[in-house]
Structure 1
């Protein structure tokens, strides 16, 4: 199983973030300003000394103009794949919340122009992203199981199993699970 977690992955993810920063000719200070993540935190992540939270990944990917999935996907050096079993999908766990995201599509070598991410948000947990993480994307959230409170700016949408929400204009967002059980949902992303 490819997993987006653990020491070796953290080192590869840090190297990926460093490559993205250097490819743009940005200093550590410039990335910190663009992402609103501290220089110290970025430095730890780039060295593989710290696993970033989902919120930090969201801020860094937004600064680069990439989706989180693209940023994480650039770490794996896989060959093109057409069939992937659930247990084989690359996954990453947020060290702060236990939130688990599995990259369903696309895979390395794929020509798909959209992304699908499977998320498991533990009971009582939440994760927030700045508006900049969504500025260049169209997204749809589809709840598979459980209850999700999705806050988009000042508006709270309460979603249950089978409910979907097409995200509106860019706003700070929070995915929250105030229930006593894990909420499982899909996020479908396309570039604008």
Structure 2
């Protein structure tokens, strides 16, 4: 290993622990949020175990911290963060016949989220209401989808954009073949401030 990678591994445990404490989370809470076992989180924080990239990604999402920021010496004033296509995290077990690629950074979770969703023919993503005041904006990149928001229903074709409330049950369904959409989820102000 290089001197630089050794330095990163030296900083990582303390940075993760600081991030957890800043959020006021216990080891158990981080384990529940991240899917990483409590004992593994503890070992990583003590510097007894080096996390895989996947484990580190899950921890940064749970802690709502910047993945790169944990590893860097200091923040550069000018930089371009690139997440290569093969590195973009994806979810395959939500919805039916769809693959969700997460384009927004982990620290945006629960605030302003961006997704690239690929649907197989007949694929669907049905969602329970998000926080009060939440909205979604969907642009169809390929194919055609139907969008449902509460009792409202619209067909949205390639190149079209739909904006709709997401604080009611809502769904996106591929029509007559595969489809691909770009989805932005914006949580309501009540969700951001913690008000009910």
TM-score (norm 2): 0.53
> Does residue 79 of structure 1 match 2:68?
yes
Tell me the equivalent position of 1:91: 90
- Residue matched to 1:156: 153
- Deviations 1:108-145 (CA, angstroms, capped at 9, x unpaired): 6x7xx6221111111112221122x2535232111111
CA distance in 2, matches of 1:100, 1:84: 18
Number of residues of Structure 1 aligned to a counterpart in Structure 2: 128
Q: What SS does the aligned partner of 2:137 have?
A: strand
State which structure, 1 or 2, has the greater radius of gyration over its C-alpha atoms: 2
Which structure's relative contact order is higher, taking Cα pairs within 8 Å and 6+ residues apart? 1
Give, in whole Å, the separation in 2 of the partners of 1:72 and 1:98.
28
Aligned to 1:174: 171
Q: Using a 3 Å threshold, how does the CA distance of structure 1 residues 75 and 143 change in structure 2: closer, same or farther? A: farther
Partner Cα distance (2:61, 2:121) in 1: 27
1:145 aligns with 2:155: no
2:29 is aligned to 19
Within 5 Å, give how 1:47-58 maps onto structure 2.
Answer: none
Q: Secondary structure at the match of 1:98?
A: strand
Unaligned runs of 5+ in 1: 1-17, 24-45, 49-69
Could you state the TM-score of these two structures normalised by the residue count of structure 1?
0.54
Q: Cα distance 1:71–1:158, how it changes in 2: closer, same or farther (>3 A)?
A: farther
- Deviation at 1:168? 2.9
What is aligned with 2:113? 115
In structure 2, the CA distance between the partners of 1:102 and 1:171, relative to structure 1 (3 Å rule), is: same
